[in-house]
Amino acid sequence: MKLGFIGLGIMGAPMCGHLIKAGHQLFVHSRSQLPAAITEAGATACASNQAVAEAADIIFTMVPDTPDVEAVLFGDAGVAAGLSPGKTVVDMSSISPIETKAFAQKINALGCDYLDAPVSGGEVGAKAASLTIMVGGPEAAFERVRPLFELMGKNITLVGGNGDGQTCKVANQIIVALNIAAVGEALVFASKAGADPAKVRAALMGGFAASRILEVHGERMIKRSFAPGFRIGLHQKDLNLALAGARALGVALPQTAGAAQLMNACAANGEGQLDHSALVRALELMANHKVMPD
Active site residues: 169
Q: How far apart are the C-alpha atoms of 56 and 70, rounded to whole Å?
A: 19
CA dihedral (258, 259, 260, 261) positive or negative: positive
Cβ atoms 222, 205 nearer than 8 A: no
Query: Contact, 181 vs 221, CB < 8 A?
Result: no
Residue type for 111, please?
A: G
Interacting residues of 242 by C-beta distance below 8 A, sequence separation 6+: 170, 173, 174, 253, 256, 260
Q: Is beta strand 131-136 parallel, antiparallel or unpaired with respect to 58-61?
A: unpaired
